[in-house]
Structure 1
Amino acid sequence: MKKIVLTGARGALGSLLRAPLAALAEELVSTDIREAPADLLPNERFVQADLTDLAAFEALMQGAEMVVHFGAIPDEAPFEELLGPNFIGAYTVWEAAHRAGARRVVYASSVHAAGMSETMAGLDTDAPHDPDTFYGLSKCFAEDMGRMMWKKRGLEAVCLRIMSCTPEPQNARALHTWLSHGDLVRLVEAAVTTPVTGFTVAWGVSANIRAPVSNHKVAFLGYRPRDNAEDWADRLLPTPKTPDPSDPAQRSLGGPFAVVPLGESGVAAIKRMSAGD
């Protein structure tokens, strides 16, 4: 490809994608609200920009074929804090991509778009929205906008409902939800290189034998995860107390995000759970 744009390039996940995406294009334009990284790749250009600045994004996307949108606040927060980067920012990216003539947006959606769904439900990629937080609601908004932009304007979108993406699974819940860093890269590469996608939703999950979701309806993406959280089961399964099946944090796909008060950090709750508190 001639040009790929990556938003959120300084984030925990976006930073993992810079080199793989640079290998797929003549030019990678990375952007973030933070300053440029010190290790720019030979074919990488960095533009510091705010996700609410439509004019800036329209300019930096000129000539881009693909936009990989990973920029956002990656946690629950008060609605007013999420409104700019997560809601308006998603509109900015899709509108700028359309105006620049891009072919596809690959979007970092989240499991929290369906976080109130039961873990035992066995969800496919066509599962309805069931957000657990304002953060999850922002992902539903962006997914619905992506579907609308495809049907009204022909701008393709692949929305990746990313689950627990860490170097290693951090707790017993991650035996179901883990997405390894390697599989994240494989998933994004598949979303970028598949010839035709239309509007597609895919679960961002590794090849965990306990996975509560399925990508079998979007096999055409060619995503073949290689890692399995079960390799850590012996370390993660022992627990000092029996899980409570009536606890929404245990039975809901969003885990602790399903029980935190709206506007309060779900990431902090996961860290407490991983620490055994």
Structure 2
Amino acid sequence: MASKLKKIVLTGAAGRLGSYLREPLTALCDELVSTDIKEQPGKLYAGESYVQADLADFNAMNDVIEGADMVVHMGAYVDEAPFEELLGPNFVGSYNVWEAASRHGVRRVVYGSSIHAVGMYPKNEFINTEVAHRPDTFYGLAKCFTEDLGRMYWEKRGLESVHMRILSCAQVNNARALGSYLSYDDLIQLVTRCIETPVTGWAVIYGVSNNDRAPVDNTKASFLGYRPKDNAEIYAQEVLAAEPEMDPHDPNHMCHGGPFAGVELGKSGLAGMNVVDDSKEN
């Protein structure tokens, strides 16, 4: 990137992943507008402003995105839930972001997609970025919808987008995470590469660190220049010693989506995961 962007909009800024992205994003632009349905999370960084807004409100998204060069869209309801609860933030919200971005001439949307868009594939299948959608939940279905939405806006209106299928950006405290772990440092590198790559068109990339046991293949997304550095294998001995023997017939263990693959539709997937809220405090 030859020079700083004028304005980046970050949705989901009050979330756990958003808390780690806010400060690095201020280094890439003159103005970072952070937004979330929640109240402002702590003090602001230099060059950052905050707008409390609902993704499901088109006028609010249209206003906040005006003048932006790029949007980093991390906002969503981040769990499985009844379809009606996800419809506003995860489906309509994505449409509102893309439509507003298109109207205002935004160059690119960088989207926080998820492994749950393909979560029903068996773990012993090493899947690449071109496999067909195979969602494990309504939450995963929303990710499929947004990936397809992004492709349509690229092909019909020329709005670029990169869809980061994040596996598990959280502390490594279970056996699945030995393959799915994405460190916060690697997340920041991934988002930075998605912003700084000169041309992306429509693209998909898995958000995963350089794990020995990573179950996905990013070869076809190598043009983005993402080269993760962290490796969950350093936690393997401790984690595996604490894990009971796994059932290879249990979708919780056998599918890429982990607990989301085994849960009933509409029921929380996070309830079966020990995700630690270690949001960054500024």
Scaled by the length of structure 1, the TM-score of the pair is 0.96
Q: Secondary structure at the match of 2:216?
A: coil
- Shift of residue 123 of structure 1? 0.5
1:248 aligned to 2:251? yes
Task: Give how far 1:113 is off.
Answer: 0.3
State the partner residue of 1:269. 272
* Aligned with 1:259 (options 246, 258, 262): 262
* Aligned counterpart in structure 2 of residue 213 of structure 1, from 212, 216, 232: 216
Q: Indicate the residue corresponding to 2:278 in structure 1.
A: none
Q: Does 1:34 align with 2:38?
A: yes
Asked if 1:187 is matched to 2:183, the reply is: no
1:121-270 alignment, distance < 5 Å: 121-166=125-170, 168-239=171-242, 241-270=244-273
Tell me the amino acid that sits aligned with residue 192 of structure 2: E
Q: 1:100 aligns with which of 101, 104, 108?
A: 104
| 2:56 is aligned with 1:46 | no
SS at match of 1:68: strand
8 Å CA contact 2:178–2:211 kept in 1: the answer is yes
* 1:88 maps onto 2:92 in alignment: yes
Aligned AA (1:36): Q
Segments of structure 2 that go 5 or more residues without pairing to the other structure are 276-282
Counterpart of 1:188, as a letter, is: V
Distance 2:176 2:235 in 1: 12
Match of 2:259, as an amino acid?
P
RMSD, aligned α-carbons: 1.1
Q: CA deviation at 1:63?
A: 1.3
Please, what TM-score do these two structures have when normalized by structure 2? 0.94
Structure 2 residue 77 is matched with structure 1 residue 73:
yes
Mapped partners of 2:259, 2:159: distance in 1: 34
Report the CA distance between 1:246 and its aligned residue: 1.1
Q: SS in structure 1 opposite 2:54?
A: coil
Out of 69-78 and 36-45, give the one that drifted further. Answer: 36-45
Tell me the secondary structure at the aligned position of residue 76 of structure 2. Answer: coil
* SS of alignment partner, residue 179 of structure 1: coil
Alpha-carbon distance in structure 2 between the residues aligned to 1:77 and 1:146: 23
Structure 2 Cα separation of the partners of residues 154 and 86 of structure 1? 23
Shift of 1:239: 4.7
Instruction: Give the CA deviation at 1:266.
Output: 0.4
C-alpha distance in 2 between matches for 1:252 and 1:42: 43
Q: Does residue 62 in structure 1 map to residue 62 in structure 2? A: no
Counterpart Cα distance in 2 of 1:240 and 1:68: 36
Q: Which runs of 5+ in 1 are unaligned?
A: 273-277
Q: Which 4+ runs in 1 deviate beyond 4 A?
A: none
In 1, Cα distance between the equivalents of 2:21 and 2:243? 38
Mapped partners of 1:66, 1:170: distance in 2: 34
Residues 88-128 of structure 1 show CA distances to partners (whole Å, capped at 9, x for unaligned) of: 00001000110111000000000000000011110011111
